[in-house]
Structure 1
Amino acid sequence: MCSLDCLPFELLHLLCLYLGASDVLALKAACKKFHLWLGNSFWKKRVLSRCTGQFPCLAGKTVDWISCAIEREYTLELFGPTGHSVRFFQQNGSSPGIDAVHIPPDHSDLLIVGDRGRTITGFSFGRLLECGKWDQVFSDGRTHLGWIWTIKSINDNMVTGSWDGALRSWVITNTDLVLNTSYKLHAPVLCSSFLDTNVVAASAFLLARVIDLRLSPDQQSRCLAVRHQKAILCMDAPNERQICGSKCCADRNLVELHAGGDQWSSSYNSRSSLSSLENSDLGYDQGFSDPLTMLSSLEDTHGSNQPADSSAVVNLSSGDQVVLGGELPPISTGEELTASPSPVQDSPYRSGMVLYTGSDDHFMSGWDLRNPSRPVVKHQFVNYPRKMSLMDNSELWVAEPPNRIHVFDIRRGALECVYTNELPGWVRGFGGLEVTPGGVYACGLHGTVDVFHPTKPIIPMNSKPIAEHIHGSPTCMAYSQGILTVGAGDGSIYLWTSKDKMKSTVDSG
C-alpha cells in the first residue's frame, strides 16, 4: 500500500486542492516533508483560485496566505453561491432603535447592543444559538443619558460613547458589566477606537480626544486632542488590530508553523476562536438614523472657527476648556503632507501610535499622536467619510455616501486611494462597513446587507444580498470570529453565522 508521503509532489498538491483548509493544515503538521511542500506558494494558489478579481488590492502587499485561505473559504461557505449561513432575527425588540453593536474579541460569547433608549444590553450567543431566545445577560439603562453611538473593547476594558457627551469605561465579563469611570467630553461621542490596551480615542464633535483609562478625570486634567473643522464621524487605529488580533475566524495568532534544521513545531486551532443632555432637551425626533442630521444643528452651538490643524489640550475634570497648541499656517489639501512639527515634549504616546479620523468636513486625516498639531496625511472626499474599517495594518477601506467604497494604501505612512467602487442601487449611504481578508460586509440605509469579495473590483459573493428591504434602516454592524450582526433603526437585530459555529459556541458554553 502506498502512503501519502510516497506520492509525487504534483499529485499531493492536486489532492490537497480538494481538501478543506483545516485538513490540509493537519496534513502539513504530519511531517517535515509535507510542511515544506505545503508552503506559501500552495496557499497563495489556493486563495487566488477562489478570487474573482485582483487580490490583494494593494500591489506588493505582504499576505499571510494560510490565514487568508482559511478565512476566505469560511466566508464563501457562509455567503457564497452555495452558502449555508443561519439567520437569527429579533424584530422590533424592546429598544426604540439601535446605533451600536459590538462583539468583544475576548468575550466572543457576548453580543453587546447600545440603543436610543439609553440602554446597554448584553446577549449570550450560546443561549441564542442553543434555543433561539434573545435572553439578556445584563442590561444598564441608567448610566447614559442619551443615545448610545459607539461601543469598543479590548481585553476586559470596554468603552461606550453617547449623545450625552460622556465616554464611560467599563469592566466586562461574560455575565456582567461594571462601570469603572466616566469622562465628560461635553459633546456627542459618535465613534471611538482603542490605541492600546489602556488608551482610547473618542470623538467629541470637532475633536478626537485621547484618554488614558488608567487615570481618573481629575488625574487626567489635561487631555490631548486633534481637531477637524466639522464633526468627526468615524475613526480606526492600526494599533487596535495588533492588540485584539484579527476579526477573522482564522486569526493569524492561531496559526504558528515554524520550520528550521531538523526540528520543527506546528500548532493550529482548527476551530476558530473565533452634560446630561436628553433627546427631548435637544428637540430631536426618534426617527433620525444618521448623526449628521442632528449634528448640523450643533454647528452654531460649538462653533467651527478654530484652526482645523491644531492640537488641543482638554480639561476633563472641569468645563470644556480647550487650550490650542499653537496655530499653524494653512496646509494644502493634497493627499500627503510632510510632517513638520517637532514631537510633543514628554509625549505619553508610544512610537507608532496612529489614528485615522473621518469628518463631515470632507476630510480623512492620519495622525501621528506624538505630533498631534497637524495630520501627517489627508484625503479629501466629494461628500464625507462615513464608515471606515482596517483589513490589516496596510489596507484601509472607507465608505462614502451614497454608494462609494474606497481602498487606501496606508503602508509607510501613506494615505493613497488605490481603488474606488460604486455600488449600484445604494442611494442613501451606509450604516456599517466591516472588512476582513475573507469578505467585505456592508449595510446600507436603504435596507440592504451584502457581502463582497475583498478584491479589485469588489464583487458580491452571491447573486442576491443576504438581506433586502430591512425596515427601520440598518444603522450599525459588527463582525467577529464567524458571526455577523446588524442593528436597525426600528430596534431589530439580525445575526448570521454557521451551524458549526452554533455547535462550537453551545459546546464551549
Structure 2
Amino acid sequence: MNFISSSNVPVCGVVDEDTHMTSMDTDPADLSSHNLTLDQLPPELLIRICDFLDVQVIYKLQHVCRVFEELLSGDTYFKSRISRQWPKIYPAIPVDNLNWQEACAEREVTHSAWTNQEAHLEHFTYNECLFAAVDTVHLMKDGQILAAGSRDRYLTILDLDKYDSMKNDSKQDMEIFSDNKVHKGWIWSMDSRDNILATGSWDTFIRLWDLEAGVVPADVFKCKTAVLDLHLEQDLIIVGGYDKNLHLIDRRSGTITKKNYHRKPVLCVAVDDQFIITGSEDKTICIYDRRADKNYKRLELDTYPLDMSYGNNQLWFGDKQGFLHLLDTSNGAFDVVEKYDVGHKGKLTGVIHNLGAVYTSSTDHTVKVLEPSRDPGVITTLNSHFDGVTGISYQNRVLASASCDVSIGIWRPRRH
C-alpha cells in the first residue's frame, strides 16, 4: 500500500480529477478556506478512524508523518486499541515489557481467523495410515512438520506443506515416516528442539529422532517407568513418570536423577529456566526450584490436572472435571486466580495459551478457542471429531488435534 502525505489528504469528500474540487453535501465554495487535512484532526478523531483499519495498515501509517508516528508508535495506542475491542483484563496476568504492537496483531489476527474460518483457515483431517486412537500430536519446524503417536504403536510424521486441498491423493504425499516398531508400548508424549524429536512411551523408553538426517535414531534412554510427559532441552530431558517421580536425564552422560514429590503418577510437566512444574494424579501441583535444587511450593487441588501451559506469568491447567484454571506465577507467586467453566462436558485434556488465544481440548469431542484474558470467553468451538480429543499442539498459527476417532485434525492459515 502506498501512502501520500497526510497534509495533502482532505478529511472527507471525493476530489474531481478535472476540476480539483472536493464534492461534498455542502457547497464547496463555502468550504474552500476551511479544508482540513488528516494531520489537523484532533487526536481522538484520528484514533477513532485508525480503529477501523487493519493493524498491519497502522504499522505503515506510523511512517507517513510525524503526527502519525507520535500518535501510533509505542504501546499506548495498541494497548488502548485492545481494551476498546476486548474490555476484559488482558493479558490475564500483567506481563513486564510486553510488546503491545505484537500482542495487538496476534489478538486481531487470531480472533479474525477463528470467527471467520471459511475466509482465513483451511481445515482437513488426516487418517490415512492410522488404525487406532491417536494419543498425542506435536508440531515442529514452524508448523510444517507434524508428529503423532497412536495406540497401534505407530509413530507417524507428516510434512503438512505437501498437502494440497485440490489433490485427492495429497494426504498420502504428506507422510515422511511411519513405523509401529519404534516403541513396544503406546507413544504417550512428545517434544522437540531444533531438528530433534523426542518420543516417550509406556514401554519406559525415550527415543530421539534426527529429522534433518531423515528421521534416523539419534539417542535412546530408559526410565524404568512409563513416560507420561516430557520436555526436551539442549542437555536435559525432563520427564513425568508413572512411578510418581520427576526424572531429570542428562543427555550427555545418560545419568538419571529422580525427584519424588508426589504420591501418584506425574501426568504433566511445564518448564522454564527457573522452575519445573509437575501435576499429578494425587491432586497436587509441585514446583521444583532448579537453581536451589529443592521443592519450592506445593498446591493442593480438588481434582487432578491433565495438562498445563506455562509462560508470561501465567500457568493454565485443565483438570479431570473439565475446568480450566489460572495461576499467577509473577515473581514466583503461583497464586490461584480463578477456576473457569468454559463449557467442556468431559475431561480437559489439552491446554495451550499464547498472546492470541487459549486453546483447550476435551474428551467431550471438542476443541475450544478462548479469549486470552481474565474470564476467557469462547471465541469458537470446533466439533470436527466424533470421539474424545486426547491432546492438541499449536505452532505458528497451525493447530493440530489428536482424537480417539483415529484421526488428526489440522487447522492452518489459508493459502491464497
* TM-score range normalised by the length of the shorter chain: 0.7 to 0.9
- Aligned partner letter, 1:58: I
- Aligned partner letter, 2:247: R
Gap regions ≥5 residues in structure 1: 240-351, 504-509
Aligned mate of 1:376, from 281, 290, 296: 296
In structure 1, the residue matched to 2:6 is 4
8 Å Cα contact 1:92/1:490 also seen in 2: no
In structure 2, the residue matched to 1:486 is 401
Aligned mate of 2:104, from 69, 73, 83: 69
After TM superposition, list the pairs within 5 Å mapping 1:297-446 onto structure 2. 352=274, 354-373=275-294, 375-390=295-310, 392-424=311-343, 426-446=344-364
In structure 2, the residue matched to 1:209 is 247
CA distance in 2, matches of 1:60, 1:434: 17
SS of 1:386's partner is: strand
CA distance in 2, matches of 1:116, 1:20: 45
CA distance in 2, matches of 1:93, 1:50: 44
- Aligned partner letter, 1:191: D
CA distance in 2, matches of 1:94, 1:368: 40
8 Å Cα contact 2:142/2:395 also seen in 1: no
8 Å Cα contact 1:93/1:491 also seen in 2: no
Deviation of residue 11 (structure 1)?
4.4
CA distance in 1, matches of 2:196, 2:48: 47
CA distance in 2, matches of 1:378, 1:428: 26
Paired-residue identity, %: 23
Determine whether 1:94 maps to 2:94: no
Please, what TM-score do these two structures have when normalized by structure 2? 0.83
CA distance in 2, matches of 1:28, 1:70: 15
Q: Check 1:221–1:61 CA distance in 2 against 1; reply closer, same or farther (3 A cut).
A: closer
In structure 1, the residue matched to 2:21 is none
8 Å Cα contact 2:198/2:209 also seen in 1: yes
CA distance in 1, matches of 2:211, 2:4: 54
Deviates most, 157-166 or 116-125: 116-125
In structure 1, the residue matched to 2:62 is 28
Higher relative contact order (CA 8 A, sep 6+): 1
Q: Check 1:18–1:197 CA distance in 2 against 1; reply closer, same or farther (3 A cut).
A: farther
Q: Check 1:29–1:157 CA distance in 2 against 1; reply closer, same or farther (3 A cut).
A: farther
After TM superposition, list the pairs within 5 Å mapping 1:122-141 onto structure 2. 122-129=157-164, 131=166, 133-134=170-171, 135-141=174-180
Larger relative strand fraction:
2
Deviation of residue 36 (structure 1)?
3.7
Gap regions ≥5 residues in structure 2: 8-37
Determine whether 1:14 maps to 2:48: yes
Matched residue count: 375
Q: Check 1:83–1:408 CA distance in 2 against 1; reply closer, same or farther (3 A cut).
A: farther
CA distance in 2, matches of 1:197, 1:12: 49
Root-mean-square deviation (Å): 2.4
Deviation of residue 123 (structure 1)?
1.2
CA distance in 1, matches of 2:117, 2:147: 30
Determine whether 1:188 maps to 2:226: yes
- Aligned partner letter, 2:215: L
8 Å Cα contact 1:388/1:397 also seen in 2: yes
Please, what TM-score do these two structures have when normalized by structure 1? 0.69
Determine whether 1:471 maps to 2:390: no
CA distance in 1, matches of 2:258, 2:217: 24
CA distance in 1, matches of 2:319, 2:113: 27
Deviations 1:234-253 (A, max 9, x none): 111134xxxxxxxxxxxxxx
Q: Check 1:129–1:359 CA distance in 2 against 1; reply closer, same or farther (3 A cut).
A: farther
Deviations 1:246-290 (A, max 9, x none): xxxxxxxxxxxxxxxxxxxxxxxxxxxxxxxxxxxxxxxxxxxxx
SS of 2:368's partner is: strand
In structure 2, the residue matched to 1:281 is none
